[in-house]
Amino acid sequence: MSSDDAHDARGAPTMSGPLLSLRIVQLTTDDLGTPLSEATFVIVDLETTGGSPKDGGITEIGAVKVRGGEIIGELATLVNPGQPIPAFIAALTGITDPMVASAPLVAPVLASFLEFLADATLVAHNAPYDVGFLKGACAKADLAWPQARVLDTARIARTAMLRDEVPNCRLETLARHFGTRVQPTHRALDDARATVEVFHALLERLGGLGVQSLEDLQAFTGRVNPVQRAKRTLAEGLPHAPGVYVFRDPQGQPLYIGTSSDIARRVRTYFTASETRRRMTEMVRIAQRVDAITCMTRLEAQVREIRLIAQHQPRYNRRGRRPGSHAWLRVQTTTGLEVRIVQRIAPSILDDLGGPEESTRHLGPWSSKTAAEPARQALVWVLGQNPSAVAKLITLDADECSELLLDHIQQLSALGQYEAAAQWRDGLNEVLTGLQRTARLQALARTAEVIAVRPVTQNGEGQVGWEAHCIRFGSLAGAAQLPAPRERGGWTRALDALRGCSAHVVQPAPGALTCAPAEAEVVARWLELPGVRLAASTAPLAWPAHSGGQLLARLAQVRRQASGGESKPLGPVGGVPTRIRRPASPLVAAPRPVLAGSGR
């Protein structure tokens, strides 16, 4: 454990103290990154009508999936391009208009191909051409192109082959040189099968040059900055385990702090062609060493990262550098209803306003005052319409408040004021987002201790153990890896050990958190993951039924439909918000002080 995460930015001990890392069993991974023998590749070839991806169409797709040198699946089909096939293309490929007249259109074929591709690495000969047509077809079919790793066998050959070996790196030339069993015929599946054999022959050659993993292969063939290539030694000796990595400058000050489930593998990517961010290449140029803090679980690593970034403020980290910039909506109820934005929850104020019950009277947090402003405007309007709706809202019952806002949204939409309606809809979205976050975080902050476990799998081979966490007042106090118990009472002893070694956390003031909101958020997200089981809890842990979760999910769907594209999910469970979101613009005031927001 590093001592860096035991103190705050002023050098004082952190509120929750150091985390426990109880090592019951250590899961191991291959020290070579992702070995080529274990990687899955999908080798694809297309036949097209020619021209550019914007104007041309696909007439045939052939794909072969391989792993460990063995073919594990194939996909091949003609495709109706929706346009005539030029005569010279028909003569070259043998694919004619009558052949594709009854073939499926490109959209369902692409859907099948993307499912076939899944998480594999995409390989093609002259990959920019094939990938360009695939991306263009996906755009026309309104399908999202996955962020797949792409390898080009032509580029690999130009790097691996000597000039006196082959006159060029065309597929036909390479197939003859390596004596492949399948020769290219300008038909998709034949060419894909030939590319498989060429690809394997190239990998065999590169093995003698030290290329043993996907990361090695990408670095070997990529246009890597010479400084990045020279700094690859910084990744040597790092552990293949979950944890935090810290890039440091010559004076030892942190430049960048990140987290990964495999520290060594992640750090190596900073020295390959896959890292194209100018900010990161500049950081790598300055860095003199990389330190690693191994953790028992990914959640522990995420929490340590949040704490270290808040403490050290690394110049190349963009997120988490301003932990004190969060904002809450404080609803005053004792001297008349009032809604205003505050940046901290002061215990003295809470004592004056009635003690523990005041915890539900602070909604949030949001990332800043600006982000909280649309929600404040919406609640001020509701306050003018029906104060009892706001009184119910702060008890985590959003039904009446939501109905008022939705009615006004419908009114604006009926009047054709769609822009105003959409912005009030965003205001409603922010109100519900803050309420959901309040419900989730305050439930954790009021619970003295939660012990939760989740099954751990490795390489898709089934369960190998459990990860366990001790959470106290919303703060992660301990983490452990546990084997499956083999004797009666094994669970009890293991969890008692975790509980006994976890850090002490002081109970917070009502409505406050013991840790940064970002830490409480990642803890809440972990608890919502599939398979998590509560082994023990000092109080029932549940989110209120009327706090607006279903409506928030519906609003997210409306936003996706209105934008014409896909957006990232707000959380792992049915629309529950797990990220602090910043609105695009403040609310537009309506002609009358009435609310609006769906834009439907």
Task: Report the distance separating Cα 137 and Cα 490, nearest Å.
Answer: 56
426/455 same-domain check: no
Q: What are phi and psi of 174, to 5 degrees?
A: -65, -35
| Per-residue confidence (pLDDT) for residue 354, from 0 to 100 | 38
Question: What's the pLDDT at 584?
Answer: 38
> Do residue 302 and residue 438 come from a single domain?
no
186 is catalytic: yes
Cα–Cα separations (whole angstroms), residue 432 to 101, 371, 543, 559: 51, 13, 13, 14
User: Residue 83: how many CB atoms within 10 A of its CB?
Assistant: 13
Task: Let me know if residue 19 belongs to a domain.
Answer: no
Q: If we measure between CA atoms, which residue out of 63, 159, 53, 47 comes closest to residue 103?
A: 47
* Residue 593 is assigned to a structural domain of this protein: no
In this model, does residue 139 exceed pLDDT 60?
A: yes
Boundary-marking domain end, from 297, 319, 341: 319
* 73: nearest Cα among 51, 40, 46: 40
For the chain, give the mean pLDDT.
Answer: 79
**Residue 274 — very low, low, confident or very high, per pLDDT cuts 50/70/90?**
low
CATH classification at residue 69: 3.30.420.10
For the record, the structure tokens of 408 come out as: 């006004």
Q: Does one domain contain both 55 and 166?
A: yes
| Dist. CA 83–CA 98, nearest whole Å | 12
- In the chain, the largest separation of any two C-alpha atoms, in whole Å, equals 89
Between 528 and 21, whose confidence is greater?
528
Give residue-wise pLDDT tens across range 195-215.
999 999 999 888 766 678 887
Same domain flag for 346 and 406: yes
Q: What is the structure's pLDDT at 470?
A: 95
CA angle 105, 106, 107 (to 5 degrees): 100
Q: Are 61 and 109 in contact (CB under 8 A)?
A: yes
How confident is the model over 4-25, as a mean pLDDT?
39
Lowest mean pLDDT among 311-315, 371-375, 437-441, 595-599: 595-599
Residue 519 located in a structural domain: yes
335-359 pLDDT per residue, tens: 556 788 877 765 433 333 334 444 4
- Do 53 and 136 belong to one domain? yes
How many angstroms separate the Cα of 295 from the Cα of each of 253, 298, 344, 474, 563? 22, 7, 31, 19, 40
Does the residue 403 lie in any domain? Answer: yes
Give the CA distances from residue 417 to residues 403, 411, 520, 590, 600, in Å, rounded to whole numbers and listed in that order: 19, 9, 39, 9, 10
The active-site residue, picked from 186, 200, 240, 546, is: 186
Peptide bond into 365 cis (omega under 30): yes
pLDDT above 70 coverage of the chain, percent: 78
122 and 144 within one domain: yes
Residue 445 parent element (H or E):
helix 418-445
Which residues face 453 on adjacent strands? Answer: 468, 533
278 domain-assigned? yes
**DSSP collapsed to 3 states, 526-592:** HHCCCCCEEEEECCCCCCCCCCCHHHHHHHHHHHHHHHCCCCCCCCCCCCCCCCCCCCCCCCCCCCC
* pLDDT tens for each residue of 515-529: 888 888 899 989 988
The H or E element containing residue 23 is: strand 20-23
Q: Are residues 412 and 461 in the same domain?
A: no
Average of per-residue pLDDT across 12-29? 39
> Quick one: pLDDT at residue 4?
42
At 587 the pLDDT is 39
Higher-confidence residue of 594 and 288: namely 288
**Do residues 53 and 196 both lie within one domain?**
yes
d(CA 351, CA 333): 14
Alpha-carbon distance of 480 to 478, in angstroms, equals 7
Confidence of residue 126 (pLDDT cuts 50, 70, 90): very high
Is 15 inside a domain boundary? no
| Per-residue pLDDT reduced to its tens digit, 477-507 | 999 988 876 666 677 888 889 999 999 998 8
Kindly state whether residues 45 and 73 are assigned to the same domain: yes
Q: Are residues 309 and 339 in the same domain?
A: no
- Say if CB 369 and CB 555 are below 8 A apart: no
For residue 340, the cross-strand partners are 330
Q: 531: exposed, middle or buried (C-beta count within 10 Å: 0-12, 13-18, 19+)?
A: exposed
Q: Beta-carbon neighbour count of residue 391 at 10 Å? A: 17
CB 354 within 8 A of CB 368: no
Q: Which helix (H) or strand (E) holds 189?
A: helix 188-207
Residues 46 and 123 in one domain: yes
Rounded Cα–Cα distance for residues 188 and 200 (Å): 18
CA angle, 308 then 442 then 353, to 5°: 115
Closest C-alpha to 519, from 3, 2, 82, 8: 8
- Given pLDDT bands bounded at 50, 70 and 90, which one contains residue 333? low
Nearest to 196 by CA among 101, 70, 20, 293: 70
Residue type at 33 in one-letter notation: G
Number of domains in the chain: 4
pLDDT at 26 over 50: no
Q: Tens of pLDDT along 30-86?
A: 344 678 888 999 999 999 998 888 888 999 999 999 999 899 999 999 999 989 999
279 lies in a domain?
yes
Are 187 and 117 part of one and the same domain? yes
Determine the pLDDT at residue 588: 39
Note down the domain range covering 121.
40-211
* Tokens of residue 341, six digits: 């934005």
Helix 214-221 and helix 153-160, axial crossing angle in degrees, nearest 10: 70
Residue with tokens 């690495």: 121
Taking only the tens place, the pLDDT of each residue in 526-571 is 998 888 999 999 988 877 777 777 777 777 666 555 554 443 333 3
How remote is the C-alpha of 8 from its chain's centroid? 27
pLDDT confidence of residue 3: 39
**Is residue 13 in a domain?**
no
Confidence of residue 441 (pLDDT cuts 50, 70, 90): confident
Task: Say whether pLDDT at 177 is over 70.
Answer: yes
What is residue 350's predicted lDDT score, i.e. its pLDDT?
35
Find the CATH number of the domain harbouring 255: 3.40.1440.10
Encode pLDDT of 235-247 as tens digits.
888 998 889 999 9
> What pLDDT was estimated at residue 85?
92
